Amino acid sequence: MPFFIDQMNRRIEIPKRPQRIISLVPSQTELLVDLGLEKELVGVTKFCVHPKGLKKQKTIMGGTKNFHLDKIEALQPDLIIGNKEENYQEGIELLEKKYPVWMSDIYTLEDALEMMRGIGEITGTSDRADQLIREVNRSFNFQPLKKGSAVYLIWKDPLMAVGKNTFVDDIIRRCGFLNLINQTRYPEVDLDFLKSLSIDYLLLSSEPFPFKEKHRKEFLECFPGTKVIIVDGEMFSWYGSRLIKAGNYLKTVQ
- Phi, psi (5° rounding) for residue 61? -90, 5
Residue 143 has pLDDT above 90, yes or no: no
Could you give all domains of the chain from N- to C-terminal order, each with its CATH number? Answer: 3-139 (3.40.50.1980), 148-250 (3.40.50.1980)
In tens, the pLDDT along 95-134 reads 999 999 999 999 999 999 999 999 999 999 999 999 999 9
Other C-beta atoms closer than 10 Å to the C-beta of 197 total 16
3-state helix, strand, coil in the chain (%, to 5): 35, 20, 45
Q: Are 55 and 62 in contact (CB under 8 A)?
A: no
**How far apart are the C-alpha atoms of 179 and 218, rounded to whole Å?**
21
Residue 1, pLDDT score: 56
In tens, the pLDDT along 193-230 reads 999 999 999 999 999 999 999 999 999 999 999 999 99
Residue 69 has pLDDT above 90, yes or no: yes
Other C-beta atoms closer than 10 Å to the C-beta of 149 total 15
Average per-residue pLDDT in the chain? 96
Q: What is the band of 144 on the pLDDT scale with cuts at 50, 70, 90?
A: confident
Q: What is the band of 145 on the pLDDT scale with cuts at 50, 70, 90?
A: confident
**How far apart are the C-alpha atoms of 88 and 117, rounded to whole Å?**
24
Going by C-alpha positions, the residue among 134, 94, 131, 92 that lies closest to residue 6 is: 92
